Homo-oligomer: A and B are copies of this chain.
Amino acid sequence: METILTPPTLANVEEARKRISEYAHRTPLLSSKQVNQKTGGQIFFKCENFQKVGAFKFRGASNAIFSLSKEEATMGVATHSSGNHAQALALAARLRGIPAYVVMPENAPKVKVKAVKNYGAEITFCESTLQARESTLEQVVAKTGATFIHPYNDARIIAGQGTAAMEVLEDHPDLDMIMAPVGGGGLLSGTALAAKSIKPDIKVIGAEPANADDAFRSFQKGELIPVQNPDTIADGLRTSLGELPFSLIRKYVDDIVTVPEESIIEAMRYVWERLNMVIEASCAVPVAAVFEQKIDVKGKKVAIIITGGNVDLDNLPW
């Protein structure tokens, strides 16, 4: 646990980049004249919704898994998650040919259970409390000897997530700003670490739902203030900020802004309609921040990381 809670460095992101290049897609950067006209900036969308398993999470998960020693790897990996991290871990484990153990609450949506199963993970169901998930995970780890891979409070995960920003800066070394949503903080901290280390004068901005503004408040106050069961459509951002990501965010992020639910839904629909991409509500959060002028992008070259596209098409918010 010692090493994975030591803050990663640019060198770790560079290693991650090499390590995962064979497995992860180099996702495209898309732009839209309409978005540029609407905002007065030059906005580039880094499309991690086209990443494997449909989310940036594959970067961190594959970096973590392919950096395990042979001995560790043989025993497999484990996590408790019902979201994109579980799918990403399951796929990365399959690519390395090792077992993945996923603890899921018994009321997890069937479609998510199916997806994780399809990627070949072994699922253990438990009651849907955090306590039950943690204790079940402990049992699984004790029984199998698998390595627990936390979805964001892990240096290997953070370094992996930072590779997206690295790709963006290779395409546009003169970028003025990069934005990402913030939930547990793995993506924002990796993005900030990579971007600021490569280009110290770049601005790094996090965006968060006003209804789940623990990162905003923690950032303002300088100490972690967790959130309890926040009510936001951006389900990927309901998690509270992790310690390790927070330490990097304090060091490298310039600002965190918040947006209301209506703006998130509106921005989400705008991207579906005008950019013809399926994006999760979570990715719409920084887009909403730009549309609502929470951040001034006029005349600036700005990248927004589009985090994923796993959406229930039978349950759209409009």
Contacts and interface: CB of A to CB of B under 8 A. Distances in A.
A98 interface: no
Contacts of A5: none
The copy count of this chain in the complex is 2
Contacts of A198: none
A52 interface: yes
Interface in A262-318: 269, 272-279, 308-310, 313-314, 316, 318
Given A314-B318, A318-B314, A276 B30 contact: no
A28 B50 CA distance: 11
A3 B134 CA distance: 73
Contacts of A313: 269, 272-273, 316, 318
Contacts of A278: 272-273, 276-278
Nearest to A30: B50
B318 A276 contact: no
Nearest to A34: B118
A174 to B, nearest CB: 20
A12 interface: no
A251 interface: no
Nearest to A31: B25
A175 B269 CA distance: 36
A90 to B, nearest CB: 13
Interface in A39-60: 49-50, 52, 54
B52 A33 contact: yes
Given A313-B269, A313-B318, A277 B279 contact: no
Nearest to A111: B273
Given A28-B28, A54-B276, A314-B318, 6 more contacts: A30-B50, A50-B275, A273-B313, A276-B278, A277-B277, A313-B318
